[in-house]
Amino acid sequence: MRSMSGFFNIIRRFAIISVKKVSAYQFELWMTLIQLLFNLSFTVIFWYTLLQFIPAFAGWEIDELLLYTSMLFLGEGISGIFFGFRDMPERILQGELDKFLTRPVNVMAAMLFENVSVLYFIEQICVSVLMVGVIMWKYRITILVSHLPIALLNLILGVITIQLIIGVLTFLSFWFGRIENLRNLFLSVLEVKEYPITIFPRPIRRVLTYTIPVYFAAYYPCALLIGKETVDIGLEAVLCLQTVFWVWMFGKVWKMGLRRYEANGG
């Protein structure tokens, strides 16, 4: 209990520091919002352009694709809590864990949240939710409200599980040093989530469902809301098992890596 309390306490502290940093530079705050809107606009333009040549993309209309895009951006906003994985291999190699190991803090939380830009990801989540509302109003889309809780739960668990896999790959730097190419290879695979999974052949869909939970990180939650998919207890069980397994693997590899780091003197 004390460990969890310390974990959330350090998250709160770094979140406050992050907000103060951004608030001190108003220009940077606005630029992050502009960057977010630019990324979102580029994706919207891409779908509009594509559907000028293809009336329906794998059975998806423009309104559904825009809703899919908003769910994708919402998931990326949630994944922002794991932003610290990006620089962690380099920090491990530089011995930067030492400053946390000598203090009474949760090392994992400190590594993840020291440099995270909280406002950027809050902005991304808010813009994504706003976009959902705008799309529903403009295209008169009716979502299945009864599916909303399970859709959000699938989105959150899918995103977290993927980030846990990235975390495990990141921790390999305790043994192998630079693992950026391996991790970048996995991140390249994850780019497929930018498109509805139904465009891929069945064997690939199975891999993206039962091996890497890309299926749950945008497609399935969105498809549940618009009625393209129904709640599948079997798939829900698969996601829960994947999440439990990767939570266990994440903790196991982190502890082993930390012991190796301390044994080598940092």
DSSP string for residues in 211-249: ISGGGGTTHHHHHHHHTSS---HHHHHHHHHHHHHHHHH
Q: Give me 143's structure tokens.
A: 């979502």
Q: What is the pLDDT of residue 99?
A: 78
CA–CA separation, 213 and 170 (whole Å): 18
Amino acid at 6: G
Rounded-to-integer distance, Cα 223 and Cα 216, Å: 10
pTM, rounded to two decimals: 0.85
User: Residue 145 burial by CB count (10 A; 0-12/13-18/19+): exposed, middle or buried?
Assistant: exposed
Q: Distances in Å between the alpha carbon of 80 and those of 6, 160, 236? A: 20, 10, 24
Sequence-distant (≥ 6) Cβ neighbours of residue 23 within 8 angstroms: 29
Judge whether 239 and 154 are in contact, CB under 8 Å: yes
Q: For position 57, what pLDDT does the model report?
A: 77
Per-residue pLDDT of the chain (266 residues; tens, 9 = 90+): 445 555 556 556 656 666 666 666 666 667 777 877 888 888 888 888 888 877 777 788 888 999 999 999 899 888 888 888 888 888 888 888 887 777 767 777 777 777 676 777 777 888 888 888 888 888 888 888 899 999 999 999 999 999 999 999 999 998 988 888 888 999 998 989 888 998 899 999 999 999 999 999 999 999 999 999 999 999 999 999 999 999 999 999 999 998 888 766 55
